[in-house]
Amino acid sequence: MDYKQLVDSASIIPKVSSKTAQEYESKIAVMVTNINETMLQRADIMEMVGQNNIEMMKDNHNNHAYFIASILKNFNPEVLCETILWVFRAYRSRKFHSSYWAAQLNTWREIISKHLSDESANQIMPLYNWMQLNIPTFTSLSDEKLSESDSKHLSN
């Protein structure tokens, strides 16, 4: 899948109600605490995030929650894709393994179901399902950008 196809696929994610966006935003603190605790209990966490990256992982969880809150309020498929690709490049360059996002997104889905009303969770799940489904595409497209960046850096 190329970038245009990725954005096109994001554009069909159903928008959520303002009530759902508000509920998600109101639960950010508890959800971020919950995801940090849950992810830290994983036996494979160091393999997924790399050495000395636990605080960076926690920052990512916090940033993720606030970014998703903004996307839920003002959905923009291009901003969604660009931001996710930037995150993949930035974190993978710091030795985060692509398996981290599968684990993280699965955990977010559990936490959203636990902390939000069924109505809100059901409205938000298509976005998380789309992100989960597109991890290979995010990885592939971010690999291309990382390679381009390395080539430009080496040629200068």
Segment 33-64, tens digit of pLDDT: 999 999 999 999 999 999 899 999 999 999 99
Q: What is the pTM of this model?
A: 0.90
Output the pLDDT for position 127: 98
pLDDT confidence bin for 148, thresholds 50/70/90: low
For tokens 């950010």, the residue is: 28
User: 10 Å Cβ neighbour count for 43?
Assistant: 6
pLDDT of residue 20 exceeding 50: yes
Amino acid at site 127: L
Fold of the domain built from segment(s) 3-155: Globin-like (1.10.490)
38 vs 145, which has greater pLDDT? 38
Output the pLDDT for position 9: 98
**Percent of the chain whose pLDDT exceeds 90:** 87
